[in-house]
Amino acid sequence: MPAKTFIASGPLKGRIQVPGDKSISHRALMFAGLAVGTSRITGLLEGEDVLATAAAMRQFGASIAREDDGSWRVEGAGLGSLLEPRTHLDMGNSGTSTRLLMGLAASHAMTCVFTGDASLSGRPMNRVIAPLAQMGAQIEAASGGTLPLMVRGLTPAVPITYRLPIASAQVKSAVLIAALNTPGITRVIEPVATRDHTERMLAGFGARLETGEENGERVIALHGEADLAPMDVCVPGDPSSAAFFLVAASIVPGSDLTIANVGLNPTRAGIVTALRQMGADITEDNPREVGGEPVADLRVRHANLAGIDVDPAIVPSMIDEFPALFVAAALARGTTRTSGLAELRVKESDRIAVMARALALAGARVEETENGLTIHGTGGDPLPGTREGASVATELDHRIAMSMGVAGLASTRGVQVDDTAPIATSFPDFIPLLERASSR
């Protein structure tokens, strides 16, 4: 378990590029693996989570290989022609891989066993099990609806209309992916719109779907027994990864950093909105569209941040970025209040409780509520940092490790985190990139 102390740095300068978007990378591999023909993916995130998806799709019969130029070539197995996995599907730490591939297995006549690491095996899957069971899949999970978990798929599966009880792009996507091999029309109703990468990319691969509104709620209707055609996918930079550098440059005096090629899908860009509301200096240069996704280069300069009350309506568009936002709040002037974050309690860790303890250990003033944090900022002064011999417990959560690493850049003593290994799940080059940006 490689512990590391992150210490105060010089200003973050220059131009960097963060890894490809994790959500889009997962989906590109899956949908290319379901198409008939050859797809090429550039900019793919090569973290452990995405590689778990690639390994699973190979078991389903897709041919997936990394080319010498860094692109990925995928020969699809064809929807409805998947092979039954010969061994269990090891999802590692990836909740996205697990939930979306459960949907894939649910509408194919096969039996799949999903396993994962200690962190993933503690995460509940009941929210995905419920709609897939309605479609006819038989699912047996460990106590509490966790991994290890077995899915016995049904062909033909049953089309359903499913209203999401909570905002979850993963549950929505699992149902839509199951619907691909299901006759008829499957409808998903979203009371609160979530990230729409699945809908955008499925349309690109040739699936027939319509989106609309009924009674103020978003409705996605997918026509089953789809024929997916291969396509080339260019993956934009991950806004969840960019968030750490947006916060770091905002809180370290003298910083002027450009983050190239960041995806700014409106269902994902809440972190930029929230930071700007706090007074962050973030500009969008060279806005463009790549593969159906809005993209821009983000220039961020140090700013004096102020605390805000975060609107719960913005939560779905930045659910993974709150640990980074909590760090920004700890260095801001005044108080930041967040609510509506119950989803954070069932991520890789309980991110509300773990970040409350981590920030307090680094000297921040934090109060934990049932579904959020109240953070009293330093007014721009550095955090004290962790005491000698004390270490932030990351609980195997990559975003806790990276967020507290950023906090260390604006601290007096530095911040020690107990384990940086989980960072490899989503951002293998985070530490060297952070060191390069702060040493120019």
Tokens of 186: 């499957």
3-state helix, strand, coil in the chain (%, to 5): 35, 25, 40
- Whether omega before 156 lies within 30 degrees of 0, making that bond cis, reads yes
Scan for tokens 């390069």, then name that residue.
Answer: 436
Contact 352, 345 (CB under 8 A): yes
Integer Cα distance of 108 and 90 in angstroms: 19
The separation between CA 279 and the C-alpha centre of its own chain, rounded to angstroms, equals 25
The one-letter amino acid code at 353 reads A
Inter-CA distances, 11 with 252, 352, 364, 380, 410, Å: 6, 29, 22, 15, 10
The one-letter amino acid code at 118 reads A
3-state secondary structure 337-371: ECCCCHHHHHCCCCHHHHHHHHHHHCCCEEEEECC
Integer Cα distance of 398 and 349 in angstroms: 9
Catalytic residue among 320, 397, 418, 419: 320
Inter-CA distances, 325 with 162, 189, 284, 409, Å: 32, 29, 19, 15
Integer Cα distance of 8 and 264 in angstroms: 29
- Give one DSSP letter per residue of 22-77, joined into a string: HHHHHHHHHHHHHSSSEEEEES---SHHHHHHHHHHHHTT-EEEE-TTS-EEEE--
User: How would you class 140 by CB atoms within 10 Å of its CB: exposed for 0-12, middle for 13-18, buried for 19 or more?
Assistant: exposed
Integer Cα distance of 47 and 144 in angstroms: 28
Which of 427, 12, 371, 100 has its CA nearest to residue 240?
427
Torsion sign, CA atoms 43, 45, 51, 56: negative
Question: Who contacts 311 (Cβ-Cβ below 8 Å, separation ≥6)?
Answer: none
Residue 381 annotated in active site: no
Strands 293-301 and 281-290: antiparallel
Active-site amino acid positions = 320
